[in-house]
Structure 1
């Protein structure tokens, strides 16, 4: 119940009467219950005052009871097919002025809550949960470390999969199988961007045939059985790459190293971004670094904090995020290097250990 109690205290401190958490990362964070997102309402209600309760469809009650939520001592309130679960929540809450809705709540549910609680202002539950979710506990860091080791094991296999004559899709299929074999429960994404496609940061797998001399960006990740995610990018070359590519790849490597070295408590998120961006800009490639330096990671691949200009949030021990600068020459080629980094009491610790230099295969 410790995490539930922390959330209840944070809800009260934020001046919110109750949090309403439907299936998604917020609910899993608070209870450990990875509930199915269905049209039938499942909702953890955390009042600022009073005891929390979990509203579940009766047919989902066994699954909820056998989940980690069943060990928390939270009351389960089952509803039947002819019941109105939104009205049920409203009756149990009584008059409320502000409620926090799960950031990933479906619009159809938020609108039903608006009708059931017409006098309540709706705000995002993330305003309450962000401070708790950003600062990972030792157990969460251990889960992320396990995820990092699993995705590193996949990158170790990539050189054997990249061959001239194979398509990106063929390589991507093999990588997806390797992600599951390495211990992930699901494959979240597989990016294999070859040649000119390496200049597209979120390139989708295509039937392009990989050619000799191609740079290849491989950005991969999945979710472990714990719910915690992996995400790591390495850039490869099928044979000798173009000379100009090799030149800016070294700039990129120095930029990624500088950003990782900048991580320590009290340093702002935007300062970590600047550490990478300044090196790339000074080398003349500033306009080709077209995205933020990183994103938080945990039960979601992308969550707070975001490592980007304008984010003055100071790092604190337990913050976990990617450091992934890139340089992209549209229509020609590109490169990215990405590690997950955790802020510690004294600096930063990388959770990915694969070599960061250009790997020629």
Structure 2
């Protein structure tokens, strides 16, 4: 197995870095992100103190520049275009994989990169969430959920979720209730976003998840967006003391606001998500793709 470790000359690398740090860093620790453990060991052997670089990098990336916001808008335009095609193609008899492939093809053909996930599910596979696309044939009268998780041109993310109704019939009252509950959560939480608000304050003021949907709640009510899903990760109020962390929502952060509504053991579920730019006056949507009139009251 020695060839694996010798594929990169870790100690030669460490020597070069140590020389630069000692020359320019005046003995400062070296912050690093995404480095193999063997390289860390080599740097330590050279007398270089290595510290975590991910936290300061995430904090620095949280507030977007004007150019980054332009890149994020370009990625979202591609996703909006793909969603129009997906909505048109959604007919009884199409498979989940066939439907999902439209998003990937549209992204690639417009200069995008890849998709982080394949989160598209139909009918009974919509509950619980986080089931990736399969060869399942979508039937008339079923809900179809998807989460774009798309890395577009220049490496910037477009992260929204939609739920569709398949076929020409009318949704059931239960399907409408699920959809409108998720829509209410998204709209409420987006409406309270303000620059200067703490994460805890946002969580405490956020929409209260009904008891029947609490067990299957989404793990975050909002998260940062940039090259991927980023800092911050804001959890529901009920989870904040256990796994939340505080910080401040700042102008020019980009946040995706999340909702999943589906009862534990329920027949179906609804996933909605919308991406916003934080401004001095509140939040502004990135996506122009509409919600489903057929499912809204």
TM range, normalised to the smaller chain? 0.7 to 0.9
1:82–1:109 CA distance, 2 compared to 1 (3 A):
closer
Query: Alpha-carbon deviation of 1:341?
Result: 1.0
Of the structure 1 ranges 215-224 and 257-266, higher mean CA displacement relative to structure 2 is found in: 215-224
Aligned to 1:315: 249
Query: Alpha-carbon deviation of 1:180?
Result: 1.8
Aligned to 1:328: 262
Q: Match of 2:112, SS? A: coil
Cα-to-partner distance string for 1:83-141 (whole Å, 9 max, x where unaligned): 81111211232273622111x22333333323333x62x32112322332111111111
Q: Aligned partners of 1:358 and 1:123: how far apart in 2?
A: 51
Q: Match of 1:341, SS? A: strand
Query: Equivalent of 1:219, from 147, 152, 164?
Result: 147
Structure with more relative contact order (C-alpha pairs < 8 Å, separation 6 or more): 2
- Assess if the C-alpha contact under 8 Å between 2:215 and 2:263 holds in 1: no
Aligned to 2:195: 265
- Assess if the C-alpha contact under 8 Å between 1:135 and 1:319 holds in 2: yes
Question: Which runs of structure 2 are paired with 1:263-302 in the superposition (5 Å)?
Answer: 263-278=193-208, 280-281=209-210, 284-299=212-227, 301-302=228-229
Aligned to 1:23: none
Query: Alpha-carbon deviation of 1:194?
Result: 0.5
- Structure 1 unaligned regions, length at least 5: 1-38, 42-80
Q: Match of 2:94, SS? A: coil
Q: Aligned partners of 2:11 and 2:51: how far apart in 1?
A: 26
Does residue 187 of the first structure (1) align with residue 115 of the second (2)? yes
Does residue 306 of the first structure (1) align with residue 256 of the second (2)? no
1:86–1:349 CA distance, 2 compared to 1 (3 A):
same
Q: Match of 2:215, SS? A: helix
Tell me the TM-score normalised to structure 1 length: 0.70
- Assess if the C-alpha contact under 8 Å between 2:74 and 2:153 holds in 1: no
Does residue 352 of the first structure (1) align with residue 287 of the second (2)? yes
- Assess if the C-alpha contact under 8 Å between 1:268 and 1:311 holds in 2: no
Cα-to-partner distance string for 1:48-70 (whole Å, 9 max, x where unaligned): xxxxxxxxxxxxxxxxxxxxxxx
1:336–1:133 CA distance, 2 compared to 1 (3 A):
same
Aligned to 1:178: 106
Give the superposed CA RMSD.
2.5
Q: Match of 1:226, SS? A: helix
Question: Which runs of structure 2 are paired with 1:31-46 in the superposition (5 Å)?
Answer: none
Q: Aligned partners of 1:288 and 1:130: how far apart in 2?
A: 29
Cα-to-partner distance string for 1:119-170 (whole Å, 9 max, x where unaligned): 62x3211232233211111111111112112211111111122121222112
Aligned to 2:14: 86
Aligned to 2:272: 337
- Assess if the C-alpha contact under 8 Å between 1:295 and 1:303 holds in 2: yes
Question: Which runs of structure 2 are paired with 1:57-96 in the superposition (5 Å)?
Answer: 84-94=12-22, 96=27
Does residue 98 of the first structure (1) align with residue 33 of the second (2)? no
- Assess if the C-alpha contact under 8 Å between 1:151 and 1:221 holds in 2: no
Aligned to 1:233: 161
- Assess if the C-alpha contact under 8 Å between 1:217 and 1:336 holds in 2: yes
Query: Alpha-carbon deviation of 1:261?
Result: 0.7
Query: Alpha-carbon deviation of 1:210?
Result: 0.9
Aligned to 2:80: 152
Query: Alpha-carbon deviation of 1:297?
Result: 1.0
- Assess if the C-alpha contact under 8 Å between 1:198 and 1:215 holds in 2: yes
- Structure 2 unaligned regions, length at least 5: 1-5
Q: Aligned partners of 2:19 and 2:155: how far apart in 1?
A: 33
Q: Aligned partners of 1:179 and 1:267: how far apart in 2?
A: 34
Q: Aligned partners of 1:160 and 1:196: how far apart in 2?
A: 22
